[in-house]
């Protein structure tokens, strides 16, 4: 009989705790911070292992200005492995509100070390308004961007960055077009947008593929031409591609070789060649990219 009574009491306690948690969650959603904090404190008396409740209690205390209690409970949430990166980031804002810059930056670094990658929050959250021009803070933002976009720190994906920019394109001293080369998809690709004084335009996407460990360029022109280039050679300040395409109305296959070379003066050479057999090559387009002047 005593065992049945004990089990009944344990079930009753758990039901009461669950009810307390549900009520606290609703108050949390409605930003009733004081009421929610009381509910989480009651719930955690019998559910200390619930790291999400520790996080929510800490966040309530942050909103209420109870900073020291908040810091301790964020640590409880981290100890329970509740989204450590985000939890440490939120903890860093407590230090920022307290004016403890070194502690705020230290906690931010810990958040980055645990994978935090939402740099938009660092740029927009009001707790960081006073730090937006601080060199150390900006370095942390840059590190956060690397967490968000790992391609930014991948040296092989940065190999073709010498082509980035806004360019005027010349052939034999005459301007034939303009080209805009921008970083895309967090630095995992380069996007090309080419225009001419006439009606012809074209775009390409350039990317490194870990499947074959080569750079690729896919070009689509407004006249219907499609070229799927694959890297054949790569070195400091240069990269070369090659592809096959239909070269005439009879459907004969022609090989195209495309070489980019960075010049010492900051210009870039883009050199096209064609071949029927892959042995002898005929020069085609030989363009010089010059940075557009800033007006």
pLDDT at residue number 4: 46
Q: What is the pLDDT of residues 169-190, one digit of tens each?
A: 999 999 999 999 999 999 999 9
CB 237 within 8 A of CB 250: no
Q: What average pLDDT does the segment 233-261 reach?
A: 91
Q: What is the pLDDT of residues 99-155, one digit of tens each?
A: 999 999 999 999 999 999 999 999 999 999 999 999 999 999 999 999 999 999 999
Q: What average pLDDT does the segment 224-245 reach?
A: 96
User: In the chain, where are the structural domains located?
Assistant: 14-149, 155-291
Write down how long the chain is.
295
Examine the pLDDT at 8 and tell me if it is beyond 50.
no
Q: In the predicted model, what is the mean pLDDT of the chain?
A: 93
Helix axis angle for 2-29 and 51-63, nearest 10°, is: 40
Check: CATH 3.30.300.20 for 14-149?
Answer: no
Distance separating alpha carbons of residues 271 and 287, to the nearest angstrom: 6
Q: What is the pLDDT of residues 60-87, one digit of tens each?
A: 999 999 999 999 999 999 999 999 999 9
Distance separating alpha carbons of residues 166 and 138, to the nearest angstrom: 26
H-state helical runs in the chain: 2-29, 33-44, 51-63, 67-79, 84-98, 101-113, 119-124, 135-148
Closest CA to 161 of 240, 233, 229, 262: 262
Same CATH topology for 14-149 and 155-291?
Answer: no
Check: CATH 2.40.128.20 for 155-291?
Answer: yes
pLDDT at residue number 261: 98
Tell me how far CA of residue 17 lies from CA of 11, 79, 135, 184, 205, in angstroms.
Answer: 10, 22, 47, 49, 56
């Amino acid at each position: 009989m005593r065992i049945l009574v004990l089990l009944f009491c344990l079930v009753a306690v758990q039901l009461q705790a669950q009810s307390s948690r549900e009520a606290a969650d609703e108050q949390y959603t409605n930003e009733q911070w004081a009421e929610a904090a009381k509910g989480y404190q009651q719930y955690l008396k019998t559910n200390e292992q619930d790291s999400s409740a520790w996080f929510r209690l800490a966040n309530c205390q942050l909103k209420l200005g109870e900073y020291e209690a908040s810091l301790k409970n964020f640590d409880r949430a981290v100890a329970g492995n509740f989204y450590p990166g985000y939890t440490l980031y939120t903890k860093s804002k407590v230090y920022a509100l307290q004016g403890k810059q070194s502690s705020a930056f230290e906690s931010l670094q810990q958040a980055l070390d645990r994978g935090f990658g939402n740099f938009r929050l660092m740029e927009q959250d009001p707790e960081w308004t006073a730090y937006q021009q601080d060199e150390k803070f900006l370095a942390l933002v840059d590190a956060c961007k690397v967490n968000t976009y790992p391609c930014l720190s991948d040296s092989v994906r940065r190999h073709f960055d010498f082509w980035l920019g806004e360019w005027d394109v010349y052939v034999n001293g005459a301007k034939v077009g303009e080209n805009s080369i921008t970083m895309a998809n967090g630095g995992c690709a380069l996007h090309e947008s080419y225009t001419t004084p006439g009606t012809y335009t074209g775009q390409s996407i350039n990317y490194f593929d870990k499947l074959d460990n080569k750079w690729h360029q896919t070009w689509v022109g407004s006249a219907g031409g499609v070229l799927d280039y694959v890297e054949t050679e790569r070195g400091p300040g240069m990269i070369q591609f090659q592809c096959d395409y239909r070269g005439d109305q009879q459907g004969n296959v022609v090989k195209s070789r495309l070489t980019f070379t960075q010049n010492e003066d900051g210009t870039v050479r883009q050199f096209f060649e064609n071949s029927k057999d892959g042995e002898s090559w005929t020069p085609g387009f030989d363009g010089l990219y010059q940075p557009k002047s800033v007006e």
